[in-house]
Amino acid sequence: MSKLFLISGLGADERLFKNLNLSAYNVVPVTWIEPDKNDSLTSYASKLINRFGIEPQSSVIGVSLGGMLTVEIAKQVELKHAIIISSIKSGTEAPWYFSFFRRVPVYKLISGGFIKSLGPIIRPLFGRFAGSKESPLFYSMLKNSNAKFLSWATGATLHWNGQPAPCKINHLIGDADLIFNHKLIKDAIVIPKGDHMMVFTRAAEISLIVQNIVNE
């Protein structure tokens, strides 16, 4: 059985996938490793490939930042399936604030520790996942995030070269995603009322779609 690798988003960990029904697959959670300050998403993806043994004919699911890394992995390894959720697959799908913060790099003045303290402010961007019922998990994942990684990943994401992968990317995006605008995204399955963390809040629906893709 080929492996199914799971890559979470910025400020999250493998618990983001805990509601998905993937019991029929050989699942491998990809945890964050320490980046070098000069790493790009491309070079960091290479490190994930080597650390976790992502081989040809593996399948990878990535959410948000994890989706962008999935695209970078797909450029280096011939994957059986590349699935990205609540993410973008090329620079043409990036929201306006990517180019704004590249021109006005105020993020460089913000430490990873400060980003972790922004939980109550950024919470609305994550929809029902950060609501009252799941807020302990939201804050726990953010608290457990490595401050150095948060700082690096913010800059690396904004400066992603955004070149598309040479293979099919299976793309799921919600029309209520407040991080990535579904109207900028082409060739994707659009989930009505799906928010940025629909992999958690709409897990039953997302599971069926993922199973159909992986079982092709």
pLDDT at res. 147 = 83
**3 state SS of 120:** helix
Check if the beta carbon of residue 77 is closer than 8 Å to that of residue 58: yes
Whether the pTM exceeds 0.95: the reply is no
Q: Which domains does the chain have, with CATH numbers?
A: 3-214 (3.40.50.1820)
Which residues of the chain have a pLDDT value below 50? 121
Question: According to the model, what pLDDT value does residue 124 have?
Answer: 58
Task: Please give the pLDDT value at position 119.
Answer: 52
DSSP letter at 164 equals P
**Dihedral angle at the C-alpha atoms of 63, 203, 205, 21, nearest 10 degrees?**
100
In the prediction, which pLDDT does 192 show?
96
pLDDT of residue 146: 85
Collapsing DSSP states into helix, strand and coil, what is residue 138? helix
pLDDT number for residue 137: 76
154: left (phi over 0), alpha (psi -120 to 50) or beta: alpha
Instruction: For residue 189, give both structure tokens.
Output: 């399955």
Whether residue 113 contacts residue 147, with contact meaning beta carbons closer than 8 Å, is answered with yes
